[in-house]
């Protein structure tokens, strides 16, 4: 039993057709790739802007500014 089939059977409690399972897989893959990539780009944007403004960067929240994204 695949993860998509198990998800549809146990969590959603409905029978999802094959195209629906494929759609869930594609959307899950897109989210799994774009969310971390967007976070990394956002952090590097902070660092780049701090370099352009001649300051150290977001260092207020967390160790080395790692929680600054959450604080925003």
Most confident of 9-13, 17-21, 23-27: 23-27
What is the Cβ-side half-sphere exposure of residue 64, based on CA atoms within 13 angstroms? Answer: 2
Whether residue 71 contacts residue 61, with contact meaning beta carbons closer than 8 Å, is answered with: yes
Most confident of 20-24, 28-32, 43-47, 63-67: 28-32
pTM above 0.75, yes or no: no
Mean pLDDT lowest for which of 23-27, 51-55, 56-60? 56-60
- Find where tokens 């549809």 sit: 8
Other beta carbons within 10 Å of 2? 9
């Amino acid at each position: 039993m695949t993860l998509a089939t198990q998800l549809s059977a146990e969590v959603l409690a409905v029978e999802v057709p094959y195209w629906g399972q494929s759609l869930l897989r594609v959307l899950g893959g897109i989210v799994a790739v774009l969310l971390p990539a967007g976070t990394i780009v956002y952090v590097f944007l902070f660092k780049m802007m701090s370099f352009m403004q001649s300051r150290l960067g977001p260092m207020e929240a967390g160790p080395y500014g790692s929680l600054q994204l959450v604080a925003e």
